[in-house]
Structure 1
Amino acid sequence: MRLAALTTISMLAFAANSVLARLALGGGHIDPLAYSGIRLGAGACVLAAIALWRARRAGAGRASGLPQAWLGGSRAGALSLLLYAVSFSIAYGMVATGPGALILFASVQFSMLAWAVLRGDRPARLEWLGIGVALAALVYLVSPGLVAPPLAGAALMAVAGAAWGAYSLIGRGSRAPLSDSAGNFLRCAPVGVLLIGFGAWRAPPGLQGVILALASGALASGLGYIVWYSALPGLSRAQAALVQLTVPALAAAGGIVFIGEALTPRLVIATVGITGGVALALLASQRRAPRRRAGP
């Protein structure tokens, strides 16, 4: 029961990031760069505070806690996080909640798959079938038409997804995910201050936009990641990947309920195609994994 609750809360938090961003940016309440900076700063404060609290509970002194939080993570991880946050925010100024989350999710999966293939992994036919279905559904989603998302916004969201995929690959072997997350956010914080200043110069933020950015950074991102990392030890790799298939659907539902976005046939078909194709590829990969381990 506890595992199910933690998993549900974390998926809702991930979907909430899309809804909050679209509320703030689609309504013009804040500049995308200022939104990114506030989100990164708020996430850094929450994650660093919790990392320090845990370090002190574990017996680390006041003097050693802060350096540990700063030394977690890596420059590559911070750079990936920064690229994701900025691309994500700019894209959500143009793309609706559901399509944006779907493109983001698909790009994350495709980028991680591409890396695995480059590293020598050779997907089986059933995996390629699932990948082909998902890719075809993504092309259908962004193909020209009255309800297609703007191409520039879709491209930026794809960049955000690729950056998040890189961030996930960099952190895959982390032994201290909380400390590494805090360190990556803290490395981004100085750039976040510059983003806030430049974004405010371009367009003074409204109070609603600031509140939504703070909620995204502190709650949906900072606390959401902590809940997710608490759930991960109880999930297999396949379960962790498959449960994330719910995020685009949850984000689309949030866009309909809280923003009044339309549920179009194109979005429904693309959602079924992308999530179904990725699920097929993941399940086929799991079936192939025991054979890979049993080989020489």
Structure 2
Amino acid sequence: MPSLRILALTALAMIAFAGNSLLCRLALKETHIDAASFTTLRLVSGALVLWLLSLRKPEIDTSTVGDKRRRDWISAVALFAYAAAFSFAYLSMNAATGALLLFAAVQVTMIGHALWTGERFTRMQFAGTTIAVTGLAVLLLPGATTPPPVAAILMLGAGVAWGIYSLRGIGQTDPTRVTAENFMLAAPLALALSAILREHISLDLVGAASAILSGAVASGIGYAVWYAALPALKASTAATVQLSVPVITAAGGVLFLGEALDLRMVVASAAILGGIGVVLMKRNS
């Protein structure tokens, strides 16, 4: 079984990821901030917080890290692509639906990579994953808001980008510093997007505050926590555990955004969490 520390880090990261969906949807639905400005403020504030966190850590011996200390533009582009597509998709869908599409794409990307590179599931892990994915499918049956095709494609693309970003974080020696560098590289890309779309810029205090909270807390600290947990998780386990985020997001949507909750949501949530539990329990059994 994973240690209590890894379980706690993983749980905190999942709550933070759900918080991103809730904050983004809240800002784009209830305030006047535009999607590009939300993305920019999110990445810039995340970069600042992660940079401050990295200053508190001692410098590591770069001779033991090698190429991983070089600037990772692939991760930075993946991070920017995720954040931008995520924001624009949430212009047209509710929090729960967006999280479902996002983490379904993440799950496919990460488990597909795990199988491609030779990782094999036990029968119980396959059963657990099947239960979790079935629960996710049930949650997407009629009753959940069906998003427009363009928004759905954007959110699926965001999920693929996040899956790539997460996979590239596995095995990092200094995850907080690496995450800070990735945010710093991604922030100028977001600023460039805002410059291109400057005619559509719209800001207000609540929207800006939501974007900053999303960047500084739910993204910056959340990703640092996730990167700290990832080295102890297999790619397949990391992919499956993220299926809990739509459940957390759905609960938050009910509490904070007035989104509907029905019996199907409860049953599907139980299936998702149960399937994840099977995968986690069998990981080190």
Which band: TM-score by shorter chain? 0.7 to 0.9
Partner residue, 2:54: 51
Cα deviation digits, residues 203-261 of structure 1 (max 9, x gap)? 4222221111111111221123334556x39x9537x8486554333322221122111
The structure 2 residue matched to 1:148, chosen from 145, 149, 163, is 145
Please report the TM-score for the alignment, with normalisation by the length of structure 2: 0.80
The structure 1 residue matched to 2:30, chosen from 27, 30, 49, is 27
Q: Supply the distance in 2 between the matched residues of 1:59 and 1:273 (Cα, whole angstroms).
A: 42
The answer to whether residue 80 in structure 2 is matched with residue 77 in structure 1 is: no
Q: Supply the distance in 2 between the matched residues of 1:273 and 1:94 (Cα, whole angstroms).
A: 27
Partner residue, 2:117: 119
Alpha carbons 1:34, 1:199 under 8 Å: kept: no
Q: Supply the distance in 1 between the matched residues of 2:70 and 2:27 (Cα, whole angstroms).
A: 31
The structure 1 residue matched to 2:245, chosen from 244, 247, 269, is 247
State the Cα distance separating 1:81 from its structure 2 match: 0.8
Partner residue, 1:294: none
CA RMSD of aligned residues (A): 3.4
> Secondary structure at 2:170's aligned position in 1?
coil
The answer to whether residue 240 in structure 2 is matched with residue 237 in structure 1 is: no
The answer to whether residue 204 in structure 2 is matched with residue 201 in structure 1 is: no
State the Cα distance separating 1:82 from its structure 2 match: 1.2
Which structure's CA Rg is the greater one? 1
State the Cα distance separating 1:6 from its structure 2 match: 5.8
Alpha carbons 1:33, 1:195 under 8 Å: kept: yes
Instruction: Structure 2: give runs of 5+ residues left out of the alignment.
Output: 62-68
> Secondary structure at 1:185's aligned position in 2?
helix
Instruction: Structure 1: give runs of 5+ residues left out of the alignment.
Output: 61-70, 288-296
State the Cα distance separating 1:90 from its structure 2 match: 1.8
Alpha carbons 2:127, 2:275 under 8 Å: kept: yes
Distance 1:271 1:285, change over 3 A: same
Distance 1:111 1:276, change over 3 A: farther
Q: Supply the distance in 2 between the matched residues of 1:285 and 1:9 (Cα, whole angstroms).
A: 20
Q: Supply the distance in 2 between the matched residues of 1:107 and 1:51 (Cα, whole angstroms).
A: 30
The structure 1 residue matched to 2:92, chosen from 82, 86, 94, is 94
Q: Give aligned pairs, total.
A: 274
Alpha carbons 2:194, 2:201 under 8 Å: kept: no
Paired residue type of 1:188: A
State the Cα distance separating 1:176 from its structure 2 match: 0.8
Please report the TM-score for the alignment, with normalisation by the length of structure 1: 0.77
How many percent identity over aligned positions?
39
Alpha carbons 1:38, 1:217 under 8 Å: kept: yes
Paired residue type of 2:155: M
Alpha carbons 1:73, 1:179 under 8 Å: kept: no
Distance 1:166 1:227, change over 3 A: closer
Paired residue type of 2:40: G
